[in-house]
Chain A
């Protein structure tokens, strides 16, 4: 399972960076989203995969470490997803505004701030 997830994480990172390097604004934002997912899944994988155990132990399993699943990575990912959702939604609004104001979604056209004109 770790191997599969590791490959997925790698693929997501690769796809994310590839998309960010594209010239189209829409593809950039898809790339940013993929990069976020890659980071979340990475956190999930390295946080340790425990199958069939619960984070809250009661009854006879109480106090036994081997049957304990760490819930913290999931909590962290959940928070990160919520934040990522907010940030990406903002970015989407921004990118839409850019498209409306400047009239292009080609990043190569957006160089007014670098040439100083």
Chain B
């Protein structure tokens, strides 16, 4: 099953969707959005690509196996909490720098946590979607 319309559209949609997912991730720092919904958007983008161009191509394009993303995400999320412990606060306390980044706002460990969530969601959803799509 290959559709010219879908595969052409996907070629342009994929980067836009991925960028939008990162936007959601960063925006979630202070506004509605966040790692989960960002991750879902990214996973949906890859799933769209898998539908348009086949699961094999999608796996190649991912660079990493989804479970690697899942593992890295877990390390990021749990590690972000540990940073607070090294500073003497209870686990998962948010640590903030005074540095203001344009469009993101103050940087802090919650952003690292959110990146972890993003990766976990992308990894987990793609693992399942690619598994289901493979016949």
Is A96 a contact of B124 with CB atoms below 8 Å?
A: no
Task: Assess whether B131 is interfacial by the CB under 8 Å rule.
Answer: yes
A90 to B125, CA, bound (A): 10
Task: Assess whether B118 is interfacial by the CB under 8 Å rule.
Answer: no
Question: B132 contacts which of A82, A86, A96 (Cβ < 8 Å)?
Answer: A96
- A86 in contact with B124 given A93-B132, A96-B132 (CB within 8 Å): yes
Is A92 a contact of B124 with CB atoms below 8 Å?
A: no
Question: B36 contacts which of A82, A89, A90, A93 (Cβ < 8 Å)?
Answer: A82
Nearest chain A CB to B116's CB is how many angstroms away? Answer: 14
CB contacts (< 8 Å) of B36 on chain A: these are 82
A92 to B128, CA, bound (A): 9
Count of chain A residues with Cβ under 8 Å from any Cβ of B? 7
CB contacts (< 8 Å) of A82 on chain B: these are 36
Interface residues of A in 64-103 (CB under 8 A from B): 82, 86, 89-90, 92-93, 96
Chain B: which residue is nearest A90 at the CB level? B128
Nearest chain A CB to B108's CB is how many angstroms away? Answer: 19
CB contacts (< 8 Å) of B132 on chain A: these are 92-93, 96
A92 to B132, CA, bound (A): 8
Nearest chain A CB to B130's CB is how many angstroms away? Answer: 11
A90 to B131, CA, bound (A): 10
Chain A: which residue is nearest B124 at the CB level? A86
Nearest chain B CB to A112's CB is how many angstroms away? Answer: 25
Nearest chain A CB to B65's CB is how many angstroms away? Answer: 16
A90 to B129, CA, bound (A): 10
CB contacts (< 8 Å) of A92 on chain B: these are 128, 132
Interface residues of B in 17-42 (CB under 8 A from A): 36
Q: How would residues 99 to 135 of chain B score, 1 for a CB under 8 Å from any chain A CB and 0 otherwise?
A: 0000000000000000000000000110010011000
Interface residues of B in 64-119 (CB under 8 A from A): none
CB contacts (< 8 Å) of A90 on chain B: these are 128
Nearest chain B CB to A43's CB is how many angstroms away? Answer: 18
CB contacts (< 8 Å) of A96 on chain B: these are 132
A96 to B131, CA, bound (A): 10
A86 to B129, CA, bound (A): 12
A89 to B124, CA, bound (A): 10
Give 12 CB contacts A-B under 8 Å.
A82-B36, A86-B124, A89-B124, A89-B125, A89-B128, A90-B128, A92-B128, A92-B132, A93-B128, A93-B131, A93-B132, A96-B132
